Structure 1
Amino acid sequence: MSGTFGGRTGRQVRLSRWRLGRRPKEAADDGREALLLAAAGAGLPLAPAAYPAPGYRCSCDRVGCPTPARHPVSFAWQTQSTTDRAQIERWARHQPQANFVTATGMVHDVLDVPLEAGREALDRLLGAGVEVGPVAESDDGRMLFFTLTRGTPEDEDEWWPCELDCHPETMDEHPGLRWHCRGSYVLVPPARLPGDDGRRVHWARGPEHPLPDPLTLLEALTDACARHADPAADTTSATWPLRH
Structure 2
Amino acid sequence: MERESRFSQWLRRRARTGGGTAGAGGEAAREDLLRAAAGAGFPLAPAAYPEGYGCSCVRIGCPTPGRHPVSFAWQTQATTDPDQITRWAQGQPQANFITATGRAHDVLDVPAEAGRMALERLDTEGTETGPVALSGGDRMLFFTATRGTPEDEDEWWPCELDCHPETMDEHPGLRWHCRGSYVLVPPARLPGEGPDAVVRWVRPPVPGATLPEPLTLLEPLTDACAVYAGATTDQETAAPWPVR
Q: Tell me the TM-score normalised to structure 2 length.
A: 0.78
Structure 1: distance between partners of 2:148 and 2:229:
28
Q: Indicate conservation of the 8 Å contact 2:172/2:225, yes or no.
A: no
Cα deviation for residue 66 of structure 1 reads 1.4
Q: Which runs of 5+ in 2 are unaligned?
A: 1-21, 165-170, 233-244
Cα deviation for residue 30 of structure 1 reads 4.8
Question: Bigger radius of gyration, 1 or 2?
Answer: 2
Q: Indicate conservation of the 8 Å contact 2:172/2:226, yes or no.
A: no
| TM alignment of 1:12-23, pairs within 5 A | none
In the alignment, is residue 123 of structure 1 matched against residue 120 of structure 2?
yes
| TM alignment of 1:128-167, pairs within 5 A | 128-166=125-163
- Same amino acid, percent of matched pairs: 72
Q: Indicate conservation of the 8 Å contact 1:118/1:143, yes or no.
A: yes
Structure 2: distance between partners of 1:175 and 1:85:
37
Cα deviation for residue 139 of structure 1 reads 1.8
Q: Tell me how large the CA RMSD over aligned residues is.
A: 2.0
Give the corresponding residue for 2:94. 97
Name the SS of the counterpart of 2:228 in structure 1: helix
Q: Tell me the TM-score normalised to structure 1 length.
A: 0.78
Cα deviation for residue 129 of structure 1 reads 0.8
Equivalent residues, number: 201
Cα deviation for residue 175 of structure 1 reads 6.8
In the alignment, is residue 188 of structure 1 matched against residue 185 of structure 2?
yes
Q: Indicate conservation of the 8 Å contact 1:113/1:178, yes or no.
A: yes
Name the SS of the counterpart of 1:48 in structure 2: strand
Q: Indicate conservation of the 8 Å contact 2:163/2:176, yes or no.
A: yes
Give the corresponding residue for 1:222. 222
Cα deviation for residue 210 of structure 1 reads 3.0
Cα deviation for residue 29 of structure 1 reads 4.8
Name the SS of the counterpart of 2:163 in structure 1: coil
Q: Which runs of 5+ in 1 are unaligned?
A: 1-24, 168-173, 233-244
Structure 2: distance between partners of 1:131 and 1:196:
32
